[in-house]
Amino acid sequence: MSLSLRRRLLLTLIPITAVVWLLSAYTSYRDTQHEVEELFDAQMAQTARTLLSVAGHELMELTGAPLENTHIHFGGSDQLDIDGHKYEYKLAYQLWQQPENRLLMRSFTAPEEPLTDKPNGYNTRQIRGEPWRVFSLLDRDSGFQVQVGEAMAIREELTNAVALRTGLPLLIALPLLALFISVGVTRTLSPLKQLARVIARRDPNNLEAVAEQNVPQEISPLVEALNRLFTRLSRAFENERRFTADAAHELRTPLAALKVQAQVARRSHDEAEREQALSNLLEGVDRAAHLVEQLLILARIDPQNSPAVQQRLDLGKLAEEAVIHAAGQATAKQIELTLDRCPDPRILGIAEGITILLRNLLENAIRYTPQGGRVQIAIEQEDAQHTTLRIADSGPGIPAQKREKIFERFYRLAGQQTSGSGLGLSIVKRIAELNHAELTLDDSPLGGLEVRVRFLREQG
């Protein structure tokens, strides 16, 4: 079972938001760490310069002795009867006399060995088993060198404190943000749920278009597609209802006639009368079978989902097979049946459909052509893109004003002596549409009707 759209959005947006939050928090932490280091480095440099500027004066006042004999502590906690700051034990200062490398002054937190071996600048090293940041400043005129040390733990503690105070509100806001995203996604998707409820409450027979008012722009294509689908379904259902009604009406008459002929044959005591009734019964069965066959063909090719896989076809070969199939019917009526084909009658089409088209056109032409008439089939290459099929007969033809109606189902011209199902040309028209062919009716040079089908020609 696939995930709902809401859940997919939440599973996408919330992790992305969390990742962006984590990246932002990490970037903020790194920036805070960098700024803290810059601040402490600046303080160390300022402290060193201050100590260096007053070093000589302070030494003379504290000792009253020459500088070369001075080696004292300053700032010791054992010298003051007050509590110091917690960071006090993480700071150290030294004053050296160079180039003798003699220690003149140091804080009680500083070791007796140099904090750094660099004459000037910053350095990071291990002191008493922990990392320290050290700054050294040498006055080459007086020979005094100040070394200021600071434990890295001070910086890390301050960085963590700043990051925690900054990030804690954001951390608390993260689940609130997830909640707001969830509520926002739910409200944003509410039109989809509303549309689903509207369609779910619909009667199965209600194929009217869905109202498009107040529909978000992103859902509008879906609603338009649904409305197009409803329109096609409505048209298809209407066609099915009309087809079913027409088929029931058309089948009722031949079936009633079959029943009458069967009753006549059953009650008849005269052999000749019985034979005539049975002959009429067989003709009626043939007509009914032909009607049922045409109905089945129409039902198979009429739906819009009919398979329409076109392929390369030899129209001449298909026409020859149709002529062979219709030869018996033509011979029975002494009709001259001829086929004239161009050298390369290639087309693009659906083989089964075009076979049915050829047989229906030939059967129609032979059925309505009088005894001893003519039916001509011609295949011509019209141009580089098209091949045309022409079937002409010497029958009564169709008046020009009725040629459009002749393609309607079960339509038959009034006054015709020949009976038919009224489906042949309707089937031909549908097959022509499926094969993207043009179908036209015209007067035949033989005096009857000429049917022209213009096919797309296979290239290459």
Alpha-carbon span 389 to 359, nearest angstrom = 13
HSE-up of residue 203 (Cα within 13 Å, Cβ side): 3
DSSP string, 36-93: HHHHHHHHHHHHHHHHHHHHHHHHHHHH-S-GGG--EEES-GGG-SS---TTGGGEEE
- Architecture of the domain whose range is 5-162: 2-Layer Sandwich (3.30)
Task: Indicate where the chain has its CATH 3.30.565.10 domain(s).
Answer: 307-456
Kindly report whether the global pTM for this prediction surpasses the value 0.85. no
CATH number, span 307-456: 3.30.565.10
pLDDT in tens, 196-243: 787 888 887 777 888 777 777 777 888 888 888 888 888 777 767 766
Encoded tokens for 94: 């030294």
What is residue 423's predicted lDDT score, i.e. its pLDDT?
Answer: 64
CA gap 448, 445 in Å, rounded:
7
CATH 1.10.287 spans which residues of the chain?
231-295
What are the tens digits of pLDDT across the range 416-436?
A: 555 555 566 777 888 888 888
Reference 148, options 130, 162, 127, 163; nearest CA is 127
**Residue pLDDT, tens place only, 83-133:** 545 555 578 888 888 888 888 888 877 888 888 888 888 888 888 788 888
* pLDDT mean across residues, the chain: 77
Closest CA to 240 of 248, 228, 229: 248
Fold of 231-295: Helix Hairpins (1.10.287)
Instruction: For the chain, give the percent of residues with pLDDT over 90.
Output: 2
